[in-house]
Amino acid sequence: MSDIERESMEFDVVIVGAGPAGLAAAIRLKQVNPELSVVVLEKGGEVGAHILSGAVVDPIGIDRLLPGWREEEGHPFRTPVTDDHFLVLGPAGSFRLPNILMPPLMNNHGNYVVSLGNVCRWLATKAEALGVEIYPGFAAVGLLYNEAGAVTGVVTGDMGVEKDGTHGPGFAPGMALMGKYVLIGEGARGSLAKQLIAKYHLSDGREPGKYGIGLKELWQVKPENHRPGLVQHSFGWPLDMKTGGGSFLYHLEDNQVAVGFVVHLNYKNPYLSPFDEFQRFKTHPAIRGTFEGAKRLGYGARAITEGGWQSVPKLSFPGGALIGCAAGFVNVPRIKGSHNAVLSGMLAAEHVCDAIAAGRANDELASYEAAWRATDIGKDLKKVRNVKPLWTRFGTIVGVGLGGLDMWLNTLFGFSPFGTMKHGKAD
């Protein structure tokens, strides 16, 4: 990174990734201190381009970040959840679990079915209105350090590099973006986050990170098959009872349905293809009717973090911090992480503002690391901390049942008979 002469730009805060975490952090920084210079780098060609859309969002984060958003024209939370279905699928049949069995945290009423890409585009307009500079189309590909070993900035990718690595005629070196603090909001398994976790041993003393692969498709369905606000989850077929995972099917606005499938990446069968399982799932008698005469509009896949409470690495390192899914804040049974991404971006931003106000720069935001477990993020993740390890250990039928019981006990009594279970080995 250092042998090329690069242009350099100075900011107070550099944020990598214009997902819910990065954008919430940018907005919060400017809300607290409008004088700060804040830049957001986004590798997608536009904000939202790399976001897997079609999600159910708990508005707790947006309510805190932008109180009053409900009164605004044109916000992207257009479809409140109207109905919550939990199905267990067998090869030919299915049955619906009574909602009353579900712990309250699994209840989706009050949440919204959204395009997460549109939510990010909307957040980006809010950030820009506050003076945040957002650069889509620029990936942060490297980190810059000072002599003390603290992060001082990031480098964007070089343009015009030939396939063999030599500089072509259109070569333009990437830029160095320097900041007092760098916030990493790359999402799951980001390349910079992986380097930082290794360099600063951020996962020492934590359980290994666990992951799933999530595949998602957006469909335009016939109006007679569309039930705006319906949220449906399933587990079971086509996965065997030793393989963790399940489906989701969310009815958005405009006759659109987001359907997806998650497979936990500790599956044992080497021939299993998550993509093929997803395609088979859509042929189930309880599912296929939705897609008759429908048209697929888009599709994508993304890693999802599943380690939760016991796997979250240390969030702070000299010169910056991890936010959102870079830290692994997904609540696995809820299949939700965007609310915690927003809350963690805000929390990190507040600690950055305090540090800068105290005249600090490029040091460790230890207070952010110390704070998160007592916040709503920690409360959300702690209650569900054993769901994934129980599923891994006891399989789908027993493991999911025990996970449900454990969530009830944690919710009602703040107690788990299992304590905090270990995940065991990395996937």
Ligand X SMILES: Cc1cc2nc3c(=O)[nH]c(=O)nc-3n(C[C@H](O)[C@H](O)[C@H](O)COP(=O)(O)OP(=O)(O)OC[C@H]3O[C@@H](n4cnc5c(N)ncnc54)[C@H](O)[C@@H]3O)c2cc1C
d(CA 75, CA 158): 36
Q: How far is the CB of 180 from ligand X (least distance, A)?
A: 19
How many other CB atoms sit within 10 Å of the CB of residue 252? 25
Q: How far is the CB of 358 from ligand X (least distance, A)?
A: 27
Nearest CB to ligand X, comparing residues 39 and 51 = 51
371, 315 contact by CB (below 8 A):
no
CA 256, 258, 259, 260: dihedral to nearest 10 degrees? 160
Nearest CB to ligand X, comparing residues 321 and 402 = 321
Nearest CB to ligand X, comparing residues 313 and 402 = 313
Q: How far is the CB of 143 from ligand X (least distance, A)?
A: 10
Q: How far is the CB of 400 from ligand X (least distance, A)?
A: 18
Q: In terms of DSSP H, where are the helices of 175-323?
A: 191-199, 274-281
Nearest CB to ligand X, comparing residues 177 and 402 = 177
Q: How far is the CB of 201 from ligand X (least distance, A)?
A: 21
d(CA 418, CA 390): 9
Q: How far is the CB of 335 from ligand X (least distance, A)?
A: 5
Q: Torsions phi, psi of 11, nearest 5?
A: -135, 165
Report which of 379, 377, 373, 383 is spatially closest to residue 406, judged by C-alpha positions: 383
Nearest CB to ligand X, comparing residues 186 and 350 = 186
Judged by the rule CB under 6 A, the positions of this chain that interact with ligand X are 16-22, 41-44, 50-52, 55-57, 139-140, 185-187, 190-192, 214, 216, 260, 262, 302, 304, 324-326, 330, 335-339, 341
Q: How far is the CB of 215 from ligand X (least distance, A)?
A: 7
Nearest CB to ligand X, comparing residues 257 and 402 = 257
Q: What is the residue whose two structure tokens read 């390192």?
A: 317
Nearest CB to ligand X, comparing residues 48 and 402 = 48
Report which of 361, 421, 414 is spatially closest to residue 14, judged by C-alpha positions: 361
253, 81 contact by CB (below 8 A):
no
Nearest CB to ligand X, comparing residues 112 and 237 = 112
* CA dihedral sign of residues 15, 213, 306, 383: positive
Largest CA distance in the chain: 66
Nearest CB to ligand X, comparing residues 141 and 371 = 141
| Local structure of 169: helix, strand or coil | strand
Q: How far is the CB of 267 from ligand X (least distance, A)?
A: 16
How far CA 334 is from CA of 57, 157, 295, 387, in Å, comes to 10, 36, 27, 11
Q: What is the residue whose two structure tokens read 């950030």?
A: 127
Q: How far is the CB of 365 from ligand X (least distance, A)?
A: 17
d(CA 287, CA 270): 27
Q: Which letter does DSSP use for residue 239 in this model?
A: S
Q: Torsions phi, psi of 372, nearest 5?
A: -65, -30
